Every structure is written in structure tokens, then in C-alpha cells.
Amino acid sequence: MTQDQPQPSRRSRDRAGSHAASKLTDEQVAQSLRDELRAVGDWILGVLNAQPGWESMDVDLKPQGGRMWLRITEYRGGRELPGTVGPIKPGSSVLRRINRLQSLSYRPGRGTWLSTVVTVTAQGWPSPQYSFATRHNFDERPPQLGEEGAYQLEDGLEHLESFPRTEARVPDWLGALAAEAGHTIQVLAPEAEAEADPEGTVNPRLREAIAGFAAAPSDAALIEVMRNCTAGDLLVDATGSDLIRTQTGELSPESQIQLQSFAEPDGTRTLAAYTAQTDAQAMFHAAGQDGEPVLLRQPAAAVLELVAADQQYHHLILDAGAASCRIPRRQIEWLLSSPRNDVAKNGLLMDSVPQVLSGLMAANGVLLLGVRPLENAQGPEDVEPVWAKPEEGQDADTLLLFTSAAEVAALDPTLEIRSAAGRDVLRYALGTGASQVCVNARPPVATFAMDDIRSILDSVADSPADSDDSSEISTPVVSLEDHPEDVVVEEDPGSATGINLKD
């Protein structure tokens, strides 16, 4: 149960330790987050008691019960070695850094992370270079790390008191706990998110992902950006173009379009696109141009396809001049090379169940599965699909389906991928014994009971998409594990991060 509450006053949003990002620009927030992450990473290196030669350390962090809980896991030679588990000592200097890392990540209405994992990677022993990355958990029920006990309703309510959200952003599991206890969760009004965005924001979720990448560049953060590029819109600067409109207001094929791009020192060219009108205008004026830019609003997927099709572009930069993300052409080509279901993905973005179902059931629709090889697998068919992680003590009953390869990679980049017609994948799901399916593993998602899926499939007329053997799912389209070179973070030379990135 939820109930709207008045938006926090400016004073409450600005108080230290609650909403530290409220007075900062996106670029300043990203820089501050990088500084705090490095400080936390340096503290981790200072307290580690490990023999040289380790490859990476995962440090789980979770505020709960007035303490900051920590769990360290060491990775060495392909082995996972459990380490220290317990609360960080009160008064430790790192607590302020971690609290600020959480506070800076807050966005009005959207909230901040409930738990996070800081990954420290070491390369080049015996004198390694260290890099730091984070994997924030905004929505899942935080895991139990040690003796602190399971994350309870009281913990979630305490979190929301400091970092309030809109009803749409309250995690389902927390809402269920509140309903079971008969408790009403205080939430912000739905417009709180939009009011916090810059003027003319056209793709809030993608903007959020870009800010996350700018704050902590990593492979995972880049994949998060890419998966959000398959839905929603982007703005491109078409100043100087000869635009001819049809009677319906659409651009005529006779238009001569010139888009804003940047020449790089190495001779390559980068296309620019924006998630907000204010960023596009700021970049236009920073170039010393008079007047106002001519901005075209295009589907984000269409902008990706433009970069892939036009050989003059080697990169796409999103939100240049602010907290930005640069995507190399080869990664765009990787994303576009595998099947996608943009109709269903856009339906998820718009919270439109009819559009999601339309995408799933369309004659030309496609769905993907993430799979792992079975133990003692003899061939590519010896795999098992991934399921949503169940609550502790319960069996997995929710089969995960995906709308793109990037959605699979966002869950686990080591997964192999299978694809087939959407109806065939849903029929396959019926045979797995699942009680429900969940479309995508990272928000926005949609869950459907198998009884509903069965009814809809029964109502769909036969079409060329139907097959005689619906249990056959095609061979892998792409495996990120097989193509690690296709998922490499490139640092934007125009925005120094101070973090060591992979070459």
C-alpha cells in the first residue's frame, strides 16, 4: 500500500547525508561519484589482507539496522574465495564516503541504491594498476551478507524515509511486505521524477544510465547504457540542414540533413545525440553559434542504426559536454547484429501492457533466452535457461525472457543467447513448468502468469511464425563470453575520469 506525500522541501533535499546531489550539475555529480568511489576503493586496498596475485575483489556494501555491512570476495586463478563478513566499525572514515556515494546517487522520485558491490580489479602484478567499478542495486531485495538477518520491511521504510520514491519506483517485494503488514508506504507524487529532469528530457531512463556510466565507467555500466538505447528517443542537432516537411509534418526524403558530429584527434568522427534539450542547446552555444539549434527527435534505436550504416561515424557520444557516454561503432554493431524486440521494449518503457503483449505475440516478433551449459554438456543443445532469483527458501518459478542481447548481458555477460519467434519461446516456456515469465531482468520489466500466456496463445490465429516443434530454440546468436573484445569500455578523451580503464 502506498500514499502520496508532499514533495520534500528544498531544505530537506539539500541537507547533508540525504540528497547531496541536489545542488550539483550532472557533470559535477559524476565527478563527485568518481572521487567517492576512488576513496572507497583506496580504503579497501588499505584494509585488504590478501596475498599478491589476486585478479579482483568484490566488496558488497549494505546499510541495514544502523550499521554498514560488508562482505569481501576474492577472485584468483578462476577461484572464488570468501573473505571478511561483518559490519564496518563505527567511526571508520570510510563510512562517510559510502554514505555520500549513496546520497550522490539519489534522484528525486527514483531513489538511490539499497545495496552495492564495489569491484576492485588488479592488472599487471607484481606492480598492478587498480581500477574501481560499482554495481548498484536499486530494486532487488538486498542479500543477507552475514549475521545481520534478512532485509525486512522496517529496513526498507527507513531507507525510503531518507530517499523517497514515487509509487512506480517502490520495489514490488517491498510493496508486498507492506501490504502483508497492513502498512502504508509514503511516496512522492508521480510528477516528482519529471520535475527533477532538465527541461526537454526525452529519455529519462537512458539519461540515468549515462549518468551512472559517467560516475563509474565499466563494462557493466556501458551495457546498461546500451540496453536503454533500444527504446525511447534521442535528440540530434540538425542545424544547417535543408529540412522539407510533408503535409503531415514528417520529414520528406528530399531533405538534406546535416547532423552535429565531432572530429577526433585520430581522424575519426563521432556523432552526437542527447537525452535532453538543455544539453543539446548548451553544446550548441559552447561552439559559439548564434540563435538556437534545430533539434530532431528520433527513436534511439534509429540513431544506433545510423551510426552502424554510415561509415563516417566511428563512435556515438551521448550527452556531450555533460555527464556523457561514448559508444564505439563495434559495440553498436554487436547490439544490432542480434535479434531485438523493440516493440515489447518500448511497451515496457511506456508501462503499456497491451504493447508489450503485442510485441511478444507479433508474427514477426522475437524473444531471447539466456542459457548456461549443463554439467557434462556434449553439445550446444545441452543448456538450461536462466530463471529469476527466488526468495530465500523458495524454488525458482519465473523464467526470464529478454528483448535484446544487451538485456541478457546486463544480467550476466557470460550467458549464451538463444533466440526464436516470440510465440515459440512462449510455448517453450509453457513446457518448462514455470508459473510465470518475466520479460527482461532489469527494470522496466513485466511479469505474466503462464495461465494468461496460455490463453493468449490459444487466441492467436495460426500464422507463418508458428512452427510444428515449438520446443526447438535456435543456436546461439552471440555469446559475450565468446566475444569479449566486443564489450570494452573506452574512455571519453574529453572527460577525464581518473579511473584506470581497460584498453
Q: List, for residues 279-305, the tens digit of each pLDDT value.
A: 999 999 998 888 899 999 999 999 999
Alpha-carbon span 402 to 442, nearest angstrom: 10
Radius of gyration from C-alpha coordinates of the chain: 23
Together in a domain, 212 and 324: yes
Together in a domain, 48 and 170: yes
Q: What is the pLDDT of residue 499?
A: 23
Whether residue 88 lies inside any domain: the answer is yes
Together in a domain, 228 and 246: yes
Kindly give, in sequence order, each residue whose CB lies less than 8 Å from that of residue 16, ignoring residues fewer than 6 positions away: none
Together in a domain, 363 and 454: yes
Together in a domain, 92 and 20: yes
Together in a domain, 323 and 362: no
- What integer is the mean pLDDT of 37-58? 94
Whether residue 479 lies inside any domain: the answer is no
User: Which pLDDT band, with edges at 50, 70 and 90, does 160 fall under?
Assistant: very high
E strands within 282-429? 295-299, 313-318, 325-328, 366-373, 383-385, 398-401, 416-421
Q: What is the pLDDT of residue 2?
A: 58
Whether residue 23 lies inside any domain: the answer is yes
Whether residue 8 lies inside any domain: the answer is no
Kindly give, in sequence order, each residue whose CB lies less than 8 Å from that of residue 425, ignoring residues fewer than 6 positions away: 367, 368, 369, 401, 419, 473
Question: Cα angle at 478 between 133 and 376, to 5 degrees?
Answer: 90
Picking from 144, 159, 192, the residue at the C-terminal end of a domain is 192
Whether residue 73 lies inside any domain: the answer is yes
> What is the total count of domains within the chain?
3
Whether residue 471 lies inside any domain: the answer is no
Picking from 321, 337, 353, the residue at the C-terminal end of a domain is 337
Among 106-115, 257-266, 457-466, which is the least confidently predicted range? 457-466
Together in a domain, 324 and 229: yes
Q: How far is CA 7 from the centre of its chain?
A: 26
Q: What is the pLDDT of residue 240?
A: 87
Together in a domain, 362 and 333: no
Whether residue 472 lies inside any domain: the answer is no
Picking from 337, 356, 373, the residue at the C-terminal end of a domain is 337
Antiparallel, parallel or unpaired: β 313-318 and 269-273: parallel
Together in a domain, 156 and 53: yes
Whether residue 353 lies inside any domain: the answer is yes
Together in a domain, 333 and 364: no
Domain holding 357, by residue range, is: 342-462
Q: What is the pLDDT of residue 494?
A: 33
Supply the pTM of this predicted model: 0.77
Together in a domain, 441 and 360: yes
How does pLDDT run across 408-449, given as a tens digit for each residue?
999 999 999 999 999 999 999 999 999 999 999 999 999 999
Q: How far is CA 163 from the centre of its chain?
A: 20
Task: Please say whether the beta carbons of 273 and 318 come within 8 A.
Answer: yes
Together in a domain, 170 and 106: yes
How does pLDDT run across 456-476, given as a tens digit for each residue?
999 885 555 444 444 444 433
Q: What is the pLDDT of residue 243?
A: 78
